[in-house]
């Protein structure tokens, strides 16, 4: 999943706490990233592992280096649009 991208120490926002988002958050945390997860349904954030941050669904925390979106997240979602303008390589 993180092939070719060194995420160790980087702040990563995972947008979506469904099956793929939780798997992405776990893999990223295992690779040493500082992970925060957002979701439109706050009850889904309860399943997150300790040490994983949580935030509002349309918020990109300051210092975020990378945003990983769920396959179900629409490209016109406010968070995805904000990430496209803020998180450029």
CATH of the domain at 47: 3.40.50.720
Domain membership of residue 8 (yes or no) is no
Domain membership of residue 29 (yes or no) is yes
Supply the range of the domain harboring residue 71. 13-86
* Number of domains, the chain: 1
pLDDT for the residue 88: 57
Domain membership of residue 3 (yes or no) is no
Domain membership of residue 72 (yes or no) is yes
Entry pTM: 0.86
Domain membership of residue 7 (yes or no) is no
Domain membership of residue 46 (yes or no) is yes
pLDDT at 2 over 50: no
* Burial of residue 50, with CB atoms counted within 10 A of its CB: 0-12 exposed, 13-18 middle, 19 or more buried: exposed
Reported as a pLDDT band with limits 50, 70 and 90, residue 74 is: confident
Q: What is the mean pLDDT of residues 48-53?
A: 87
């Amino acid at each position: 999943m993180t092939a070719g991208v060194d995420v160790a120490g980087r702040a990563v926002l995972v947008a979506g706490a469904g099956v793929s988002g939780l798997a992405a958050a776990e893999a990223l945390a295992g690779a040493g990233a500082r992970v925060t997860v957002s979701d439109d349904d706050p009850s889904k954030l309860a399943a997150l592992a300790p040490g994983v941050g949580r935030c509002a669904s349309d918020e990109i925390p300051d210092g975020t280096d990378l945003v990983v979106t769920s396959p179900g997240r629409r490209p016109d979602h406010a968070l995805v649009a904000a990430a496209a303008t803020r998180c450029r390589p």
